[in-house]
Chains A and B, each alone.
Chain A
Amino acid sequence: MGGGSAIKQYERRFGQGGSVYEKESTIHDERCEKYEAKTIRVFGEYEIRKTEKEEYEVLKKGELIGKFSKAIIEEDRFLFPLSRGTLLEVSEEGRREITTSRKAEICGLIASDGGLYSTREHPDYEVHFTSKHGELIERYNDLFKEVYGIEPHVYHKRKRDGREYFEARTYDRGVYFDLLDLGIKPKAFKFHVPFKHLDKDGLKAYLRGFFSGDGNISKSEEGFSIKISSTCEEGIKELWEAFKLLGFHPNPIRVSKREPPLHDYYVFSIPEEEYVRFAEEIGTYHPGRAKRLESIRLKYKSEEEKREGREG
Protein backbone atom coordinates (compact mmCIF):
# COMPACT_ATOMS: atom_id res chain seq x y z
CA MET A 1 0.00 0.00 0.00
CA GLY A 2 1.60 3.18 -1.12
CA GLY A 3 5.27 3.79 -1.65
CA GLY A 4 8.18 4.79 0.54
CA SER A 5 9.28 3.41 3.85
CA ALA A 6 6.82 2.33 6.47
CA ILE A 7 7.80 5.24 8.67
CA LYS A 8 7.16 7.70 5.83
CA GLN A 9 3.76 6.16 5.18
CA TYR A 10 2.74 6.51 8.82
CA GLU A 11 4.05 10.04 8.90
CA ARG A 12 2.03 10.94 5.84
CA ARG A 13 -1.09 9.41 7.26
CA PHE A 14 -1.08 10.62 10.80
CA GLY A 15 1.62 13.11 11.17
CA GLN A 16 2.91 10.39 13.49
CA GLY A 17 5.79 7.98 13.12
CA GLY A 18 9.08 8.45 14.76
CA SER A 19 11.76 10.61 13.37
CA VAL A 20 14.15 10.40 16.28
CA TYR A 21 15.61 7.20 17.56
CA GLU A 22 18.27 6.34 20.02
CA LYS A 23 19.25 2.85 21.02
CA GLU A 24 18.93 3.61 24.70
CA SER A 25 15.51 4.03 26.17
CA THR A 26 16.05 7.72 26.61
CA ILE A 27 14.60 9.58 23.66
CA HIS A 28 14.05 13.19 22.76
CA ASP A 29 10.59 14.35 21.77
CA GLU A 30 9.88 17.26 19.38
CA ARG A 31 10.55 19.86 22.06
CA CYS A 32 13.79 18.07 22.91
CA GLU A 33 12.51 17.09 26.33
CA LYS A 34 14.06 13.90 27.64
CA TYR A 35 11.67 11.07 28.43
CA GLU A 36 11.90 7.42 29.28
CA ALA A 37 10.49 4.59 27.13
CA LYS A 38 9.94 1.18 28.63
CA THR A 39 9.84 -2.05 26.63
CA ILE A 40 6.50 -3.66 27.28
CA ARG A 41 6.51 -6.45 24.73
CA VAL A 42 8.82 -8.11 22.23
CA PHE A 43 7.57 -10.07 19.22
CA GLY A 44 10.59 -11.54 17.43
CA GLU A 45 12.42 -8.63 15.86
CA TYR A 46 9.71 -6.19 16.92
CA GLU A 47 9.79 -4.32 20.18
CA ILE A 48 6.95 -2.28 21.63
CA ARG A 49 7.74 0.46 24.07
CA LYS A 50 5.61 2.77 26.12
CA THR A 51 6.79 6.27 26.83
CA GLU A 52 6.22 8.42 29.86
CA LYS A 53 3.68 10.29 27.77
CA GLU A 54 1.65 7.08 27.43
CA GLU A 55 2.54 6.76 23.77
CA TYR A 56 3.54 3.55 22.07
CA GLU A 57 6.60 3.07 19.93
CA VAL A 58 7.11 0.18 17.56
CA LEU A 59 10.68 -0.71 16.73
CA LYS A 60 12.01 -3.23 14.27
CA LYS A 61 15.55 -4.45 14.93
CA GLY A 62 15.97 -1.40 17.09
CA GLU A 63 14.76 1.06 14.45
CA LEU A 64 11.70 3.09 15.23
CA ILE A 65 9.01 2.45 12.65
CA GLY A 66 6.01 4.08 14.28
CA LYS A 67 4.74 6.04 17.23
CA PHE A 68 1.12 5.78 18.31
CA SER A 69 -1.08 7.40 20.87
CA LYS A 70 -3.44 4.42 21.15
CA ALA A 71 -3.04 0.65 21.20
CA ILE A 72 -5.33 -2.32 21.52
CA ILE A 73 -3.47 -4.88 23.56
CA GLU A 74 -4.39 -8.52 23.15
CA GLU A 75 -2.74 -11.64 24.45
CA ASP A 76 -0.95 -12.46 21.22
CA ARG A 77 -0.80 -9.14 19.40
CA PHE A 78 -0.81 -5.36 19.60
CA LEU A 79 -3.06 -3.32 17.34
CA PHE A 80 -2.43 0.31 16.54
CA PRO A 81 -5.21 2.27 14.86
CA LEU A 82 -4.16 3.90 11.61
CA SER A 83 -6.41 5.96 9.38
CA ARG A 84 -9.26 4.80 7.12
CA GLY A 85 -10.25 1.69 9.04
CA THR A 86 -6.78 0.22 9.09
CA LEU A 87 -4.87 -1.23 12.02
CA LEU A 88 -1.19 -2.02 12.33
CA GLU A 89 -0.98 -5.50 13.80
CA VAL A 90 2.27 -6.54 15.49
CA SER A 91 2.54 -10.14 16.61
CA GLU A 92 4.92 -13.10 16.55
CA GLU A 93 4.14 -13.38 12.83
CA GLY A 94 5.57 -9.91 12.27
CA ARG A 95 3.67 -6.82 11.31
CA ARG A 96 0.94 -6.21 8.79
CA GLU A 97 -1.80 -3.73 8.07
CA ILE A 98 -5.23 -5.21 8.64
CA THR A 99 -8.65 -3.70 8.16
CA THR A 100 -11.06 -3.09 10.98
CA SER A 101 -14.19 -5.25 10.97
CA ARG A 102 -16.19 -2.29 9.70
CA LYS A 103 -13.96 -1.80 6.70
CA ALA A 104 -13.90 -5.56 6.06
CA GLU A 105 -17.71 -5.54 5.95
CA ILE A 106 -17.64 -2.68 3.41
CA CYS A 107 -15.24 -4.78 1.31
CA GLY A 108 -17.63 -7.76 1.43
CA LEU A 109 -20.61 -5.62 0.47
CA ILE A 110 -18.71 -4.11 -2.47
CA ALA A 111 -17.45 -7.52 -3.61
CA SER A 112 -21.01 -8.82 -3.84
CA ASP A 113 -23.17 -5.91 -4.96
CA GLY A 114 -20.86 -3.02 -5.53
CA GLY A 115 -17.89 -1.95 -7.52
CA LEU A 116 -15.01 0.40 -8.09
CA TYR A 117 -14.98 2.31 -11.32
CA SER A 118 -12.52 4.70 -12.85
CA THR A 119 -10.68 4.81 -16.15
CA ARG A 120 -8.24 7.18 -17.78
CA GLU A 121 -11.08 8.46 -19.98
CA HIS A 122 -13.54 8.66 -17.08
CA PRO A 123 -11.51 9.30 -13.94
CA ASP A 124 -14.61 9.20 -11.73
CA TYR A 125 -13.06 7.28 -8.79
CA GLU A 126 -16.52 5.86 -8.28
CA VAL A 127 -17.21 3.44 -5.42
CA HIS A 128 -20.75 2.14 -5.45
CA PHE A 129 -23.07 -0.29 -3.75
CA THR A 130 -26.51 -1.24 -5.11
CA SER A 131 -29.40 -2.80 -3.23
CA LYS A 132 -33.14 -2.87 -3.21
CA HIS A 133 -33.05 -2.86 0.58
CA GLY A 134 -32.89 0.53 2.28
CA GLU A 135 -31.61 -1.18 5.44
CA LEU A 136 -28.52 -2.49 3.64
CA ILE A 137 -27.82 0.89 2.08
CA GLU A 138 -28.14 2.45 5.53
CA ARG A 139 -25.70 -0.09 6.94
CA TYR A 140 -23.23 0.55 4.09
CA ASN A 141 -23.46 4.31 4.61
CA ASP A 142 -23.00 4.04 8.39
CA LEU A 143 -19.90 1.89 7.90
CA PHE A 144 -18.61 4.24 5.24
CA LYS A 145 -19.06 7.28 7.46
CA GLU A 146 -17.22 5.60 10.33
CA VAL A 147 -14.33 4.41 8.18
CA TYR A 148 -13.88 7.26 5.73
CA GLY A 149 -15.78 10.13 7.30
CA ILE A 150 -17.74 10.48 4.06
CA GLU A 151 -21.43 9.90 3.60
CA PRO A 152 -22.11 8.27 0.22
CA HIS A 153 -24.81 9.91 -1.83
CA VAL A 154 -27.85 7.66 -2.16
CA TYR A 155 -29.55 7.60 -5.54
CA HIS A 156 -33.11 6.48 -5.20
CA LYS A 157 -34.14 4.71 -8.39
CA ARG A 158 -37.37 3.28 -9.62
CA LYS A 159 -37.80 0.39 -12.02
CA ARG A 160 -40.43 0.42 -14.73
CA ASP A 161 -42.88 -1.52 -12.59
CA GLY A 162 -42.54 1.04 -9.82
CA ARG A 163 -40.36 -1.04 -7.51
CA GLU A 164 -37.48 0.83 -5.95
CA TYR A 165 -33.81 0.24 -5.53
CA PHE A 166 -30.94 2.29 -4.18
CA GLU A 167 -27.40 3.11 -5.17
CA ALA A 168 -24.89 4.54 -2.70
CA ARG A 169 -22.01 6.25 -4.45
CA THR A 170 -18.88 8.22 -3.68
CA TYR A 171 -16.45 9.87 -6.06
CA ASP A 172 -13.39 10.26 -3.85
CA ARG A 173 -9.92 9.56 -5.20
CA GLY A 174 -8.46 8.59 -1.81
CA VAL A 175 -11.27 6.16 -0.99
CA TYR A 176 -11.14 4.64 -4.47
CA PHE A 177 -7.41 3.92 -4.29
CA ASP A 178 -7.60 2.77 -0.68
CA LEU A 179 -10.09 0.04 -1.67
CA LEU A 180 -8.43 -0.71 -5.00
CA ASP A 181 -5.10 -1.28 -3.23
CA LEU A 182 -6.72 -3.97 -1.10
CA GLY A 183 -7.41 -5.87 -4.34
CA ILE A 184 -11.06 -6.49 -3.48
CA LYS A 185 -12.35 -5.82 -6.98
CA PRO A 186 -9.54 -5.85 -9.52
CA LYS A 187 -12.00 -6.02 -12.41
CA ALA A 188 -15.73 -5.50 -12.65
CA PHE A 189 -16.16 -9.27 -13.20
CA LYS A 190 -13.91 -10.35 -10.37
CA PHE A 191 -13.45 -10.06 -6.66
CA HIS A 192 -10.92 -11.31 -4.15
CA VAL A 193 -10.99 -11.86 -0.42
CA PRO A 194 -8.20 -9.63 0.95
CA PHE A 195 -6.80 -12.41 3.18
CA LYS A 196 -3.54 -10.57 3.84
CA HIS A 197 -5.46 -7.72 5.45
CA LEU A 198 -8.00 -9.68 7.46
CA ASP A 199 -7.75 -11.19 10.89
CA LYS A 200 -10.45 -13.62 12.07
CA ASP A 201 -12.89 -10.87 13.02
CA GLY A 202 -12.21 -9.15 9.72
CA LEU A 203 -12.80 -12.37 7.84
CA LYS A 204 -16.15 -12.85 9.58
CA ALA A 205 -17.14 -9.26 8.85
CA TYR A 206 -16.12 -9.63 5.20
CA LEU A 207 -18.25 -12.78 4.90
CA ARG A 208 -21.16 -10.98 6.61
CA GLY A 209 -20.91 -8.20 4.03
CA PHE A 210 -20.72 -10.63 1.12
CA PHE A 211 -23.55 -12.79 2.45
CA SER A 212 -25.73 -9.70 2.95
CA GLY A 213 -25.38 -9.13 -0.78
CA ASP A 214 -24.93 -12.44 -2.58
CA GLY A 215 -26.08 -14.91 0.01
CA ASN A 216 -29.42 -16.56 0.37
CA ILE A 217 -31.45 -18.69 2.73
CA SER A 218 -33.97 -20.86 0.96
CA LYS A 219 -36.59 -23.10 2.44
CA SER A 220 -37.84 -26.34 0.94
CA GLU A 221 -39.12 -29.77 1.95
CA GLU A 222 -35.68 -30.70 3.25
CA GLY A 223 -35.50 -27.63 5.49
CA PHE A 224 -33.42 -24.48 5.21
CA SER A 225 -30.38 -24.03 3.06
CA ILE A 226 -27.78 -21.28 3.57
CA LYS A 227 -25.93 -20.54 0.35
CA ILE A 228 -23.41 -18.18 -1.17
CA SER A 229 -23.26 -17.70 -4.94
CA SER A 230 -21.19 -15.89 -7.50
CA THR A 231 -20.25 -15.86 -11.16
CA CYS A 232 -16.59 -15.40 -10.17
CA GLU A 233 -14.85 -18.77 -9.83
CA GLU A 234 -11.70 -17.46 -8.12
CA GLY A 235 -13.77 -15.37 -5.74
CA ILE A 236 -16.08 -18.20 -4.70
CA LYS A 237 -13.09 -20.48 -4.08
CA GLU A 238 -11.63 -17.83 -1.80
CA LEU A 239 -14.91 -17.43 0.08
CA TRP A 240 -15.02 -21.19 0.55
CA GLU A 241 -11.43 -21.07 1.81
CA ALA A 242 -12.33 -18.23 4.18
CA PHE A 243 -15.05 -20.37 5.78
CA LYS A 244 -12.54 -23.21 6.13
CA LEU A 245 -10.04 -20.88 7.82
CA LEU A 246 -12.71 -19.99 10.34
CA GLY A 247 -13.27 -23.67 11.08
CA PHE A 248 -16.51 -24.11 9.11
CA HIS A 249 -16.99 -27.13 6.85
CA PRO A 250 -18.71 -25.71 3.77
CA ASN A 251 -20.19 -28.17 1.29
CA PRO A 252 -18.30 -28.54 -2.01
CA ILE A 253 -18.71 -25.82 -4.61
CA ARG A 254 -21.22 -26.69 -7.30
CA VAL A 255 -21.26 -25.19 -10.75
CA SER A 256 -23.77 -24.40 -13.48
CA LYS A 257 -21.64 -24.28 -16.62
CA ARG A 258 -22.87 -22.26 -19.58
CA GLU A 259 -21.41 -21.22 -22.90
CA PRO A 260 -21.02 -17.53 -23.84
CA PRO A 261 -22.88 -15.23 -23.90
CA LEU A 262 -24.11 -16.78 -20.65
CA HIS A 263 -21.92 -17.01 -17.55
CA ASP A 264 -21.15 -19.88 -15.19
CA TYR A 265 -22.57 -19.79 -11.68
CA TYR A 266 -20.81 -21.13 -8.60
CA VAL A 267 -22.58 -21.89 -5.33
CA PHE A 268 -21.72 -23.50 -2.03
CA SER A 269 -23.78 -24.08 1.07
CA ILE A 270 -23.18 -24.29 4.79
CA PRO A 271 -23.93 -27.67 6.43
CA GLU A 272 -26.91 -27.80 8.76
CA GLU A 273 -24.72 -28.57 11.79
CA GLU A 274 -23.11 -25.14 11.45
CA TYR A 275 -26.25 -22.99 11.06
CA VAL A 276 -26.21 -21.76 14.66
CA ARG A 277 -22.54 -20.91 14.46
CA PHE A 278 -23.11 -19.18 11.13
CA ALA A 279 -25.95 -17.12 12.62
CA GLU A 280 -23.94 -16.17 15.69
CA GLU A 281 -20.56 -15.50 14.11
CA ILE A 282 -21.32 -14.34 10.57
CA GLY A 283 -24.92 -13.11 10.43
CA THR A 284 -26.31 -10.56 8.02
CA TYR A 285 -27.84 -7.11 7.79
CA HIS A 286 -30.09 -8.15 4.91
CA PRO A 287 -33.56 -7.72 6.48
CA GLY A 288 -35.19 -10.85 5.03
CA ARG A 289 -32.21 -13.09 5.59
CA ALA A 290 -31.65 -11.75 9.10
CA LYS A 291 -35.22 -12.71 10.00
CA ARG A 292 -34.86 -16.21 8.54
CA LEU A 293 -31.47 -16.64 10.15
CA GLU A 294 -32.85 -15.74 13.57
CA SER A 295 -35.65 -18.27 13.28
CA ILE A 296 -33.13 -20.91 12.15
CA ARG A 297 -30.88 -20.03 15.09
CA LEU A 298 -33.71 -20.37 17.58
CA LYS A 299 -34.92 -23.63 16.05
CA TYR A 300 -31.52 -25.31 15.92
CA LYS A 301 -30.41 -23.89 19.26
CA SER A 302 -33.44 -25.37 21.03
CA GLU A 303 -32.87 -28.69 19.23
CA GLU A 304 -29.23 -28.62 20.34
CA GLU A 305 -30.25 -27.90 23.93
CA LYS A 306 -32.81 -30.72 23.90
CA ARG A 307 -30.17 -33.09 22.55
CA GLU A 308 -27.66 -32.00 25.15
CA GLY A 309 -30.33 -32.37 27.85
CA ARG A 310 -31.01 -35.94 26.74
CA GLU A 311 -27.31 -36.77 26.59
CA GLY A 312 -26.56 -35.01 29.88
Chain B
Amino acid sequence: MKRSSEDKMSHATVWMWGDDLEAVRVNSEKYVSKRWRETIKECVIGITGRERDEGTIFYLTAYSSNPEGIGDLAERLLNVALNLEGDVKVDFVTILLSDHMNSGKELYRDDLEHVEEEYERNKRILTERFSMDPRVKTKSGGREIIVVPEMSLKCELDSDYASKIITDVVDFDFQRVKNFIHSLSKNLIQEGLAKNIVGYKLFIDTERLEIENISIHKDKVYVRLATLLS
Protein backbone atom coordinates (compact mmCIF):
# COMPACT_ATOMS: atom_id res chain seq x y z
CA MET B 1 0.00 0.00 0.00
CA LYS B 2 1.83 3.08 -1.21
CA ARG B 3 1.82 6.11 1.10
CA SER B 4 -0.81 4.79 3.44
CA SER B 5 -0.41 5.60 7.09
CA GLU B 6 -2.31 4.41 10.07
CA ASP B 7 -2.70 5.31 13.70
CA LYS B 8 -4.30 3.88 16.83
CA MET B 9 -7.73 5.27 16.02
CA SER B 10 -8.00 2.91 13.09
CA HIS B 11 -7.94 5.43 10.38
CA ALA B 12 -5.64 5.53 7.41
CA THR B 13 -4.84 8.01 4.71
CA VAL B 14 -5.38 6.15 1.47
CA TRP B 15 -4.58 8.95 -0.95
CA MET B 16 -2.78 12.25 -0.86
CA TRP B 17 -1.87 14.99 -3.31
CA GLY B 18 0.66 13.70 -5.82
CA ASP B 19 -0.50 10.07 -5.69
CA ASP B 20 -1.85 8.38 -8.79
CA LEU B 21 -5.62 8.70 -8.99
CA GLU B 22 -6.03 4.93 -9.22
CA ALA B 23 -4.28 4.49 -5.85
CA VAL B 24 -7.32 5.67 -3.88
CA ARG B 25 -9.45 2.66 -4.88
CA VAL B 26 -6.65 0.11 -4.43
CA ASN B 27 -5.56 1.48 -1.06
CA SER B 28 -9.12 1.82 0.27
CA GLU B 29 -9.99 -1.74 -0.68
CA LYS B 30 -6.77 -3.09 0.81
CA TYR B 31 -7.29 -1.19 4.05
CA VAL B 32 -10.92 -2.25 4.44
CA SER B 33 -10.26 -5.91 3.62
CA LYS B 34 -7.43 -5.98 6.14
CA ARG B 35 -9.13 -4.03 8.94
CA TRP B 36 -12.86 -4.71 8.73
CA ARG B 37 -14.01 -6.75 11.73
CA GLU B 38 -17.43 -7.96 12.83
CA THR B 39 -17.70 -5.17 15.38
CA ILE B 40 -17.31 -2.46 12.74
CA LYS B 41 -20.56 -0.68 12.14
CA GLU B 42 -19.56 2.03 9.75
CA CYS B 43 -16.80 3.24 7.48
CA VAL B 44 -16.28 6.99 7.19
CA ILE B 45 -14.48 8.39 4.15
CA GLY B 46 -13.15 11.90 4.66
CA ILE B 47 -11.84 14.22 1.96
CA THR B 48 -9.88 17.34 2.94
CA GLY B 49 -9.28 19.92 0.24
CA ARG B 50 -9.12 23.53 -0.83
CA GLU B 51 -9.97 25.68 -3.80
CA ARG B 52 -6.84 27.78 -4.11
CA ASP B 53 -8.00 30.61 -6.35
CA GLU B 54 -10.14 31.98 -3.53
CA GLY B 55 -8.82 29.97 -0.60
CA THR B 56 -12.05 28.14 0.24
CA ILE B 57 -11.53 25.08 2.44
CA PHE B 58 -13.87 22.14 1.93
CA TYR B 59 -14.51 18.75 3.45
CA LEU B 60 -16.50 15.83 2.12
CA THR B 61 -17.59 13.00 4.41
CA ALA B 62 -19.38 9.84 3.32
CA TYR B 63 -20.66 7.11 5.62
CA SER B 64 -21.18 3.52 4.57
CA SER B 65 -21.81 0.20 6.26
CA ASN B 66 -21.01 -1.78 3.15
CA PRO B 67 -17.33 -2.81 3.09
CA GLU B 68 -17.61 -3.99 -0.51
CA GLY B 69 -18.24 -0.59 -2.05
CA ILE B 70 -15.68 1.52 -0.16
CA GLY B 71 -13.01 1.61 -2.89
CA ASP B 72 -15.49 2.68 -5.54
CA LEU B 73 -17.11 5.26 -3.25
CA ALA B 74 -13.74 6.76 -2.28
CA GLU B 75 -12.67 7.01 -5.91
CA ARG B 76 -15.91 8.64 -7.03
CA LEU B 77 -15.85 11.14 -4.17
CA LEU B 78 -12.27 12.07 -4.99
CA ASN B 79 -13.22 12.61 -8.62
CA VAL B 80 -16.09 14.90 -7.65
CA ALA B 81 -13.73 16.95 -5.47
CA LEU B 82 -10.97 17.17 -8.08
CA ASN B 83 -13.39 18.12 -10.82
CA LEU B 84 -14.73 21.17 -9.00
CA GLU B 85 -14.18 24.52 -10.70
CA GLY B 86 -10.99 26.41 -9.91
CA ASP B 87 -7.55 25.45 -8.66
CA VAL B 88 -8.60 22.55 -6.45
CA LYS B 89 -6.15 20.69 -4.26
CA VAL B 90 -7.27 17.59 -2.41
CA ASP B 91 -4.81 17.05 0.41
CA PHE B 92 -6.04 13.77 1.79
CA VAL B 93 -8.53 10.98 1.42
CA THR B 94 -8.72 9.26 4.79
CA ILE B 95 -10.76 6.26 5.90
CA LEU B 96 -11.94 5.62 9.42
CA LEU B 97 -13.49 2.37 10.57
CA SER B 98 -15.78 2.76 13.54
CA ASP B 99 -17.61 0.52 15.98
CA HIS B 100 -20.33 3.17 16.16
CA MET B 101 -22.85 4.60 13.73
CA ASN B 102 -21.38 8.10 13.50
CA SER B 103 -23.67 9.17 10.68
CA GLY B 104 -26.65 9.28 13.07
CA LYS B 105 -25.13 12.29 14.83
CA GLU B 106 -24.61 14.30 11.67
CA LEU B 107 -27.97 16.00 11.26
CA TYR B 108 -28.08 19.27 9.34
CA ARG B 109 -31.69 20.03 8.57
CA ASP B 110 -32.08 23.82 8.31
CA ASP B 111 -33.29 25.40 5.08
CA LEU B 112 -31.26 28.09 3.33
CA GLU B 113 -33.60 30.85 4.46
CA HIS B 114 -32.93 29.89 8.08
CA VAL B 115 -29.20 29.75 7.37
CA GLU B 116 -29.30 33.30 6.00
CA GLU B 117 -31.22 34.52 9.06
CA GLU B 118 -28.67 32.79 11.29
CA TYR B 119 -25.84 34.49 9.43
CA GLU B 120 -27.39 37.93 9.90
CA ARG B 121 -28.17 37.23 13.55
CA ASN B 122 -24.59 36.13 14.26
CA LYS B 123 -23.21 39.13 12.42
CA ARG B 124 -25.31 41.46 14.58
CA ILE B 125 -24.06 39.79 17.77
CA LEU B 126 -20.47 39.99 16.59
CA THR B 127 -20.73 43.59 15.40
CA GLU B 128 -22.05 44.59 18.80
CA ARG B 129 -19.27 42.72 20.56
CA PHE B 130 -16.33 43.76 18.42
CA SER B 131 -17.34 47.40 17.89
CA MET B 132 -16.37 47.88 21.53
CA ASP B 133 -12.94 46.33 21.04
CA PRO B 134 -10.25 49.02 21.55
CA ARG B 135 -8.29 47.85 18.46
CA VAL B 136 -11.40 48.34 16.31
CA LYS B 137 -12.29 51.63 17.97
CA THR B 138 -8.81 53.02 17.32
CA LYS B 139 -8.95 52.20 13.64
CA SER B 140 -12.59 52.98 12.92
CA GLY B 141 -12.59 56.76 13.47
CA GLY B 142 -16.34 56.90 13.03
CA ARG B 143 -16.40 54.69 9.92
CA GLU B 144 -18.95 51.92 9.47
CA ILE B 145 -17.75 48.65 11.02
CA ILE B 146 -18.30 45.44 9.05
CA VAL B 147 -17.49 42.18 10.84
CA VAL B 148 -16.42 39.34 8.57
CA PRO B 149 -16.59 36.08 10.53
CA GLU B 150 -15.10 32.84 9.35
CA MET B 151 -17.91 30.35 9.00
CA SER B 152 -18.56 26.75 8.16
CA LEU B 153 -21.66 25.71 6.27
CA LYS B 154 -22.52 22.02 6.38
CA CYS B 155 -24.94 20.29 4.08
CA GLU B 156 -26.49 16.86 4.59
CA LEU B 157 -27.28 14.81 1.49
CA ASP B 158 -29.31 11.66 1.07
CA SER B 159 -27.67 8.91 -0.88
CA ASP B 160 -28.47 5.44 -2.20
CA TYR B 161 -24.79 4.86 -2.61
CA ALA B 162 -23.69 5.72 0.93
CA SER B 163 -25.66 5.97 4.17
CA LYS B 164 -25.14 9.71 4.13
CA ILE B 165 -22.88 12.37 2.62
CA ILE B 166 -21.92 15.62 4.34
CA THR B 167 -20.31 18.58 2.63
CA ASP B 168 -18.63 21.25 4.72
CA VAL B 169 -17.29 24.55 3.36
CA VAL B 170 -15.18 27.07 5.30
CA ASP B 171 -14.59 30.69 4.25
CA PHE B 172 -15.15 34.31 5.30
CA ASP B 173 -17.39 35.14 2.36
CA PHE B 174 -20.98 33.98 2.89
CA GLN B 175 -21.88 34.18 -0.79
CA ARG B 176 -18.80 32.19 -1.75
CA VAL B 177 -19.61 29.56 0.88
CA LYS B 178 -23.14 29.19 -0.48
CA ASN B 179 -21.96 29.02 -4.09
CA PHE B 180 -19.30 26.48 -3.28
CA ILE B 181 -21.57 24.18 -1.29
CA HIS B 182 -24.11 24.42 -4.09
CA SER B 183 -21.50 23.28 -6.69
CA LEU B 184 -20.33 20.45 -4.47
CA SER B 185 -23.86 19.20 -3.83
CA LYS B 186 -24.84 19.59 -7.48
CA ASN B 187 -21.82 17.57 -8.62
CA LEU B 188 -22.49 14.83 -6.06
CA ILE B 189 -26.08 14.56 -7.30
CA GLN B 190 -25.05 14.68 -10.99
CA GLU B 191 -22.51 11.92 -10.41
CA GLY B 192 -25.20 9.78 -8.80
CA LEU B 193 -23.47 9.73 -5.44
CA ALA B 194 -26.22 11.72 -3.71
CA LYS B 195 -29.98 11.84 -4.29
CA ASN B 196 -31.00 15.12 -2.77
CA ILE B 197 -30.14 17.79 -0.21
CA VAL B 198 -31.67 17.14 3.20
CA GLY B 199 -30.66 20.45 4.74
CA TYR B 200 -27.95 22.77 5.97
CA LYS B 201 -26.47 24.11 9.17
CA LEU B 202 -24.35 27.21 9.62
CA PHE B 203 -21.56 27.25 12.19
CA ILE B 204 -20.17 30.55 13.44
CA ASP B 205 -18.39 30.08 16.72
CA THR B 206 -19.28 33.46 18.20
CA GLU B 207 -17.69 32.64 21.55
CA ARG B 208 -14.30 31.62 20.21
CA LEU B 209 -13.86 34.05 17.35
CA GLU B 210 -11.03 36.55 17.68
CA ILE B 211 -9.76 39.41 15.54
CA GLU B 212 -7.55 38.10 12.76
CA ASN B 213 -7.21 41.33 10.79
CA ILE B 214 -8.59 44.85 10.61
CA SER B 215 -8.53 46.70 7.30
CA ILE B 216 -10.03 49.87 5.87
CA HIS B 217 -11.58 49.78 2.44
CA LYS B 218 -13.75 52.45 0.83
CA ASP B 219 -14.59 54.19 4.12
CA LYS B 220 -15.55 51.00 5.89
CA VAL B 221 -13.64 49.13 8.55
CA TYR B 222 -13.57 45.38 7.97
CA VAL B 223 -12.91 43.25 11.03
CA ARG B 224 -12.05 39.70 10.07
CA LEU B 225 -12.81 37.18 12.80
CA ALA B 226 -11.51 33.64 13.05
CA THR B 227 -10.61 30.87 15.45
CA LEU B 228 -6.96 31.50 16.12
CA LEU B 229 -4.32 28.93 16.86
CA SER B 230 -3.44 29.23 20.53
The answer to whether A and B assemble together is yes
| Contact, CB under 8 Å: A216 / B48 | no
What 1/0 mask marks residues of chain A from 144 to 165 whose CB sits below 8 Å from any chain B CB? 0000000000000101110100
Within 8 A of B (CB), among A148-206: 157, 159-161, 163, 167, 188-189
Instruction: Choose, from A24-32, A68-76, A218-226, the stretch at the interface.
Output: A218-226
| Contact, CB under 8 Å: A262 / B228 | no
Taking a contact as CB atoms closer than 8 A, the residue among A188, A215, A225, A260 that contacts B9 in the complex is A260
B82 within 8 A of A: yes
Decide: A160 near B83, CB < 8 A? Known: A188-B5, A269-B212, A271-B213: yes
| Contact, CB under 8 Å: A222 / B229 | no
| Contact, CB under 8 Å: A160 / B48 | no
Taking a contact as CB atoms closer than 8 A, the residue among A117, A220, A261 that contacts B94 in the complex is A261
Tell me, in angstroms, the Cα distance from A223 to B228 when the chains sit together.
21
Q: Within 8 Å CB of A266, what residues of B?
A: 229
B152 within 8 A of A: yes
B174 vs chain A, min Cβ distance (A): 10
What 1/0 mask marks residues of chain A from 267 to 286 whose CB sits below 8 Å from any chain B CB? 10101100000000000000
| Contact, CB under 8 Å: B87 / A288 | yes
B170 within 8 A of A: yes
Interface residues on B, range: 35 or more
Taking a contact as CB atoms closer than 8 A, the residue among B2, B5, B52, B228 that contacts A255 in the complex is B228
Tell me, in angstroms, the Cα distance from A225 to B54 when the chains sit together.
9
| Contact, CB under 8 Å: B48 / A265 | yes
Judged by DSSP, the binding face of B is strand
| Closest residue of B by beta carbon distance from A288 | B53
| Closest residue of A by beta carbon distance from B55 | A216
Q: Within 8 Å CB of A159, what residues of B?
A: 21, 79, 82-83
Tell me, in angstroms, the Cα distance from A122 to B4 when the chains sit together.
13
Within 8 A of B (CB), among A195-245: 214-216, 218-223, 225, 227, 229, 231, 233, 237
Decide: A261 near B79, CB < 8 A? Known: A117-B3, A222-B217, A288-B87: no
Instruction: Choose, from B107-115, B129-137, B193-201, B219-227, the stretch at the interface.
Output: B219-227
B32 within 8 A of A: no
Q: Within 8 Å CB of A221, what residues of B?
A: 146, 173, 217, 222
What 1/0 mask marks residues of chain B from 59 to 99 whose CB sits below 8 Å from any chain A CB? 10100000000000000000100110001010110111000
Tell me, in angstroms, the Cα distance from A254 to B227 when the chains sit together.
6
A306 within 8 A of B: no
B11 within 8 A of A: yes
Number of A residues near B (Cβ < 8 Å) is: 50
| Contact, CB under 8 Å: B53 / A218 | yes
A115 within 8 A of B: yes
| Closest residue of B by beta carbon distance from A161 | B83
Q: Within 8 Å CB of B50, what residues of A?
A: 229, 265
Q: Within 8 Å CB of B148, what residues of A?
A: 222
Tell me, in angstroms, the Cα distance from A231 to B49 when the chains sit together.
9
15 further contact pairs, Cβ within 8 A, besides A256-B152, A261-B61, A261-B94: A122-B2, A159-B21, A159-B79, A188-B3, A214-B52, A216-B52, A225-B55, A229-B50, A229-B55, A229-B57, A255-B229, A256-B170, A262-B94, A263-B46, A267-B55
10 pairs, CB–CB < 8 Å, chain A vs chain B: A113-B17, A130-B18, A157-B21, A159-B82, A160-B79, A223-B215, A231-B91, A251-B213, A252-B210, A258-B59
Instruction: Kindly list the 8 A-B residue pairs having the minimum CB-CB distance in the complex, ordered from nearest.
Output: A261-B46, A261-B94, A254-B226, A222-B222, A261-B96, A216-B55, A253-B229, A263-B48
